[in-house]
């Protein structure tokens, strides 16, 4: 998936993935991460998700990574935040209060710029990427977060019935990507009402990825 694919989607306002309310999986399962107030949560491929509004309201510090400046400006505007914009080696970095978002390709973000992370919240990040990129994405996330624990929301459906994004990532692939570094626990699985865009049955799942080094 080229960067232009996503940048065009934001330009044309084709953001069907953007949810108006925080994800129920987030609300129900975030406590499983056992984070204290002030903990640092990384939200890769964040778009303008309202999940970030919720995380901030819980007292967490949040760093996002997002290709589209349109998305990032909307996120800060929706929050009523006036961002400071710093030019970093990685690209523009928007910040206000406890929120910081790097605008650019996540594959250019490094561990130093990101800083120490207590948890990763992945909703529609891994599954936004085609299979060949998912290997690099998973390895990159492990590297730049030093294998911080993750709450990961993904979809499982018959990929032959529909192309992505969102792509299907089943338990087997998740294990291939992450089992060397994490113990994987399925927290919830819910059938997508009406199937995926009415085309095929699909399940949405949320996984807890606990680092093996602990
Ligand atoms: C499916 S959307 C999910 C957005 C958000 N997580 C949500 O739940 O609404 C995927 C997002 O990833 C961004 N994106 C795609 N590739 C990226 C990359 N290489 N680096 C940073 N952001 C990327 C896109 O612009 C898009 O906003």
Task: Give residue-wise pLDDT tens across range 64-89.
Answer: 999 999 999 999 999 999 999 999 98
Q: Is 66 in the pocket of ligand 1 (CB under 6 A)?
A: yes
The low-confidence residues of the chain, meaning pLDDT below 70, are 213-214
> What local confidence, expressed as pLDDT, does residue 31 receive?
97
> What local confidence, expressed as pLDDT, does residue 22 receive?
98
User: Which tokens in the block code for residue 128?
Assistant: 């936004």
CA distance 197 to 19: 15
Among 24, 42, 50, 47, residue whose Cα is nearest residue 150: 42
pLDDT tens-digit map of 19-45: 999 999 999 999 999 999 999 999 999
Residues 107, 112, 114: CA angle, nearest 5 degrees? 65
What range does the domain containing 134 cover? 3-211
> What local confidence, expressed as pLDDT, does residue 214 receive?
55
> What local confidence, expressed as pLDDT, does residue 197 receive?
86
CA distance 150 to 122: 7
CA distance 60 to 122: 16
Measured in angstroms, how far is the CA atom of residue 36 from the centroid of ligand 1?
Answer: 27
Q: State how far Cα 73 lies from the chain centre.
A: 18
Question: What is the secondary structure of 145-184 as a DSSP string?
Answer: HTS-EEEEEEEEE-TTT---SSPP--HHHHHHHHTTTEEE
User: Which tokens in the block code for residue 74?
Assistant: 């909307």
> What local confidence, expressed as pLDDT, does residue 89 receive?
87
Q: Is 63 in the pocket of ligand 1 (CB under 6 A)?
A: no
Helix (H) or strand (E) holding 100: strand 99-103
Q: What is the CATH number of the domain that holds 58?
A: 3.40.50.150
Q: Is 140 in the pocket of ligand 1 (CB under 6 A)?
A: no
Measured in angstroms, how far is the CA atom of residue 113 from the centroid of ligand 1?
Answer: 19
User: Which tokens in the block code for residue 23?
Assistant: 């994800």
> What local confidence, expressed as pLDDT, does residue 102 receive?
98
> What local confidence, expressed as pLDDT, does residue 56 receive?
98
> What local confidence, expressed as pLDDT, does residue 41 receive?
98
When divided into structural domains, the chain yields a total of: 1
Please state the φ and ψ torsions of residue 200, each to the nearest 5 degrees: -155, 155
Measured in angstroms, how far is the CA atom of residue 45 from the centroid of ligand 1?
Answer: 4
């Amino acid at each position: 998936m080229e960067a232009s694919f996503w940048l065009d989607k934001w330009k044309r306002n084709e953001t069907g993935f953007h949810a108006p309310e925080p994800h129920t999986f987030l609300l129900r399962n975030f406590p499983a991460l056992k984070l204290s107030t002030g903990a640092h949560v990384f939200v890769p491929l964040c778009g303008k998700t309202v999940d970030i509004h919720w995380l901030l309201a819980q007292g967490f510090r949040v760093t996002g990574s997002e290709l589209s400046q349109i998305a990032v400006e909307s996120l800060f505007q929706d929050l009523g935040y006036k961002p400071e914009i710093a030019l970093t080696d990685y690209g523009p970095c928007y910040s206000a209060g406890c929120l910081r978002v790097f605008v650019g390709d996540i594959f250019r973000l490094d561990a130093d710029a990101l800083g120490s992370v207590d948890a990763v919240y992945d909703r529609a990040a891994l599954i936004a990427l085609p299979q060949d990129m998912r290997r690099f994405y998973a390895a990159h996330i492990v590297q730049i977060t030093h294998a911080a624990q993750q709450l990961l929301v993904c979809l499982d459906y018959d990929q032959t019935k529909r192309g992505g994004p969102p792509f299907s990532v089943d338990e087997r692939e998740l294990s291939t990507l992450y089992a060397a570094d994490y113990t994987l626990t399925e927290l919830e699985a819910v059938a997508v009402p009406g199937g995926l865009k009415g085309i095929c049955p699909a399940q949405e799942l949320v996984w807890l990825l606990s680092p093996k080094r602990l």
